[in-house]
Chain A
């Protein structure tokens, strides 16, 4: 596919047609805050931190750049007063929700929020970006966790907030979380996820050269149709 040219804050940059705005902006060096975006996972458009203004038909509208498709000749503004004002308010709302989360406090500093949130503080650790649930579904293919409930009381959890039967202990939810909310206790022979109420026995994997959850190896063997015992073998595939 041919590249397209877009004009961002007066500067022309190129982007791939199948791309959305955010990766193009990041690649071109624009500093756009974002928390629910990961290039391996389908855009979700939930945190609204990556908002920009897009000009079309003489009108400027506020859109989330992570989900907005690029088109040739489009005109984008990333740093207008309107965007900065809205972004600060969004961060203020997040900070009122998660006043003790370091990543959110850092973000507040970055966007120039100089005062404490003007709303009553809650003590949440999770910003509900959905990266963990989407990684679990789209990347791992397991769907051990999901959103539970809706609206202000929504949370992330396992079915019935009980021990998950299907979690494989891969830790994707832990690695992908932007605010270190998901807990993983990784010991020599066991890996635990207190929030999902699961723990996994670890076994030696010759290929990876370290101990990993047994259930995870079994899962990937099954979906990739890898012969039994392959992971226990040497990296070259020879016993």
Chain B
């Protein structure tokens, strides 16, 4: 049980003690314990480290720290050794003994475990030198690597709760709001509404009770930055909420978190308990007379609950149907009371603004978008992971300098930003700066920061269809344009991908899309046509190829493609026949070609079109590139 921190003096004393304790260690091994790394088996690596450090008598000198996500999920399990900054990737429990005896004890670098830069093919030893990290500007994520999410002392040692202490002791609510306004912080959850202004509206609304909500219902497929922050640094979110509560005069806060994120629920829950035991949540925090506590609400699996009025309904135990705005939640939210809703990343920025100053924060970014933004860079990209960059960076820098470009040397086609209701941007937009207003101008949006890279083997009509399918399943069904319109758009796109698109399809998609955009009740409906409207704008030729020529240029749409064997490449190895689930890949009577020569005993294979279900298993299995898709 954490010890009660009675007042600010005691907080500072504890901070000093925690720092001194940490100075006692000569080295720290920080192993990533995020969800991605969990899937790679990081817990076994951590256990192996613990055993090995004890075995080699290093437990007192070397601290083993399980941290939240480091962001470089492609490389898990991974660890960073401080202070040498040696960075090891894809480590297994079998590597651990060697890491401890060679690197930790003897200071030698193990080449095999170092990261290889795919561009230069060179080994990189230090984390700070890895291009993926080097080109970022990591503020929120730097903290993720420095704290154990369940260790309050860790968080205090990096300056945690100094922002909350300042807010509770030295600042008036008005001063806090002014600071947040001056910082230029805008909501990281989608709309990009100025955070300070939102707090101001809420605080100025006459009411006896006000609420704070943290939106952690990160439903955007392909986006997981909020999960990583909540998982890796939950105290920062708690601290941000305390500051917000003081600013607007709220005594209670809710975190609405996706139930699909079990580790985030667990770590946040543990952090809330610790904060409460330490007296940083609850009655009369740090003897300042201010009381505030937090409840976790687990989501039930509905994308629409990411919309703030839908989320409010859900927190009150109702279905997640959104309500028309105005009135806005800041005026009438939870149980009809003024309520401030911000997402995880927004809350996590607040303590830094308090402790480092609003001018520092406003010094980063563009004219109207300040600070950094975390993006989840996924899809057809070499370095999948979470990247934190200053606002205003170009898409090209993110995709190529940080993301390392497209795997297999393939051609970049599009990047989809803003989640399911964002837009797909083509290559010609790669040099545009990324901020709230620029993305909107290009026909997409910031959303919560999903960034999905697509290459020339991605079909944009298929992608548009994918999003419409997603959104029609996620529509709450309340208003007519979204409930009736989105499935109709999906059906039209389905026809097009099946080669049955009519000549009027494009015009009808455009017309319907505009009504759904303008006339829907909530932001989910209002932005849902974006994937269609943006692909119609930038990739119209692909639509036309599907409709007029009955052709899928990317080779994705099953009704429009055929698999076949390139006979003079087929070695007759039979790998395709072994994996084919429908016995469509079969040997012919003709000889195969091995190393350029015809072979009598091995037979070339072919694909029987009537049996082929186009599942792609043969392509995966063939080592000789002998199967083509047309």
Taking beta carbons and an 8 Å cutoff, which residues of A are in contact with B? 43-49, 51, 62-64, 67-69, 82, 85-86, 89-90, 93-94, 96-97, 118-120, 127-128, 130, 147, 149-154
B515–A89 CB distance below 8 A: yes
Question: B508 an interface residue at 8 Å Cβ cutoff?
Answer: yes
Q: How far is the CA of A96 from the CA of B485 in the complex (A)?
A: 10
Q: How far is the CA of A67 from the CA of B478 in the complex (A)?
A: 14
List chain A residues, Cβ under 8 A from B508: 118
A154–B326 CB distance below 8 A: no
B476–A93 CB distance below 8 A: no
Question: B355 an interface residue at 8 Å Cβ cutoff?
Answer: no
B479–A151 CB distance below 8 A: no
Mask of B471-488 contacts with A, CB within 8 angstroms, 1/0: 011111111110111011
A86–B518 CB distance below 8 A: yes
Given contacts A48-B521, A86-B518, contact A93 B472 (CB under 8 A): no
Given contacts A51-B519, A67-B324, contact A89 B511 (CB under 8 A): yes
A43–B473 CB distance below 8 A: no
List chain B residues, Cβ under 8 A from A96: 484, 488
Distance from A159 Cβ to chain B, minimum over Cβ atoms (Å): 14
List chain A residues, Cβ under 8 A from B481: 48, 86, 89-90, 93
Distance from A150 Cβ to chain B, minimum over Cβ atoms (Å): 5
Q: Which residue of A lies closest to B476 (CB)?
A: A150
Distance from B332 Cβ to chain A, minimum over Cβ atoms (Å): 10
CB pairs A–B below 8 angstroms (27 shown): A44-B478, A45-B323, A46-B478, A46-B480, A46-B521, A48-B479, A48-B480, A48-B481, A62-B518, A64-B324, A64-B521, A68-B324, A68-B326, A86-B515, A86-B519, A89-B481, A89-B485, A90-B480, A93-B484, A94-B480, A94-B484, A118-B504, A118-B508, A128-B483, A147-B477, A152-B475, A154-B483
Taking beta carbons and an 8 Å cutoff, which residues of B are in contact with A? 302, 319, 323-324, 326-327, 472-481, 483-485, 487-488, 491, 504, 508, 511-512, 514-515, 518-521
List chain A residues, Cβ under 8 A from B518: 62, 82, 86
List chain B residues, Cβ under 8 A from A62: 518-519
A152–B512 CB distance below 8 A: no
Distance from A195 Cβ to chain B, minimum over Cβ atoms (Å): 19
A45–B479 CB distance below 8 A: yes
Q: Which residue of B lies closest to A62 (CB)?
A: B518
Q: How far is the CA of A128 from the CA of B477 in the complex (A)?
A: 8
A89–B512 CB distance below 8 A: yes
B520–A48 CB distance below 8 A: yes
List chain A residues, Cβ under 8 A from B480: 46-49, 90, 93-94, 127
Distance from B291 Cβ to chain A, minimum over Cβ atoms (Å): 33
A151-B474, A152-B477 known; 12 new pairs, CB 8 Å cut-off, are A48-B479, A49-B480, A85-B515, A90-B519, A93-B481, A93-B488, A96-B484, A119-B488, A150-B302, A150-B475, A151-B477, A154-B483
List chain A residues, Cβ under 8 A from B327: 69
List chain B residues, Cβ under 8 A from A118: 504, 508
List chain B residues, Cβ under 8 A from A93: 480-481, 484-485, 488
Question: A-B pairs with the 7 shortest C-beta distances?
Answer: A154-B477, A45-B324, A93-B484, A67-B324, A89-B515, A151-B477, A151-B475
B479–A47 CB distance below 8 A: yes
Q: Which among B483, B512, B514 is the interface contact of A151 at CB below 8 angstroms?
A: B483
Distance from A142 Cβ to chain B, minimum over Cβ atoms (Å): 17
Q: Which residue of A lies closest to B471 (CB)?
A: A151
Q: Which among B326, B474, B478, B504 is the interface contact of A69 at CB below 8 angstroms?
A: B326
Q: How far is the CA of A43 from the CA of B519 in the complex (A)?
A: 16
Q: Which residue of B lies closest to A49 (CB)?
A: B480
List chain B residues, Cβ under 8 A from A45: 323-324, 479, 521
List chain A residues, Cβ under 8 A from B302: 150
Distance from B440 Cβ to chain A, minimum over Cβ atoms (Å): 14
Q: Which residue of A lies closest to B331 (CB)?
A: A69
Q: How far is the CA of A170 from the CA of B382 in the complex (A)?
A: 64
List chain A residues, Cβ under 8 A from B474: 151
List chain B residues, Cβ under 8 A from A89: 481, 485, 511-512, 515, 519
B519–A151 CB distance below 8 A: no
Q: Which among B324, B491, B520 is the interface contact of A119 at CB below 8 angstroms?
A: B491
List chain B residues, Cβ under 8 A from A149: 477
Distance from B614 Cβ to chain A, minimum over Cβ atoms (Å): 26
A151–B476 CB distance below 8 A: yes
Q: Which residue of B lies closest to A89 (CB)?
A: B515
Distance from A156 Cβ to chain B, minimum over Cβ atoms (Å): 11
Q: How far is the CA of A45 from the CA of B481 in the complex (A)?
A: 12
List chain B residues, Cβ under 8 A from A86: 481, 514-515, 518-519
A152–B519 CB distance below 8 A: no
List chain B residues, Cβ under 8 A from A44: 478
Given contacts A86-B515, A118-B508, contact A97 B484 (CB under 8 A): yes
B324–A151 CB distance below 8 A: no
Q: How far is the CA of A64 from the CA of B511 in the complex (A)?
A: 20
Q: How far is the CA of A120 from the CA of B489 in the complex (A)?
A: 12
List chain A residues, Cβ under 8 A from B326: 68-69
Distance from B328 Cβ to chain A, minimum over Cβ atoms (Å): 11
List chain B residues, Cβ under 8 A from A154: 477, 483
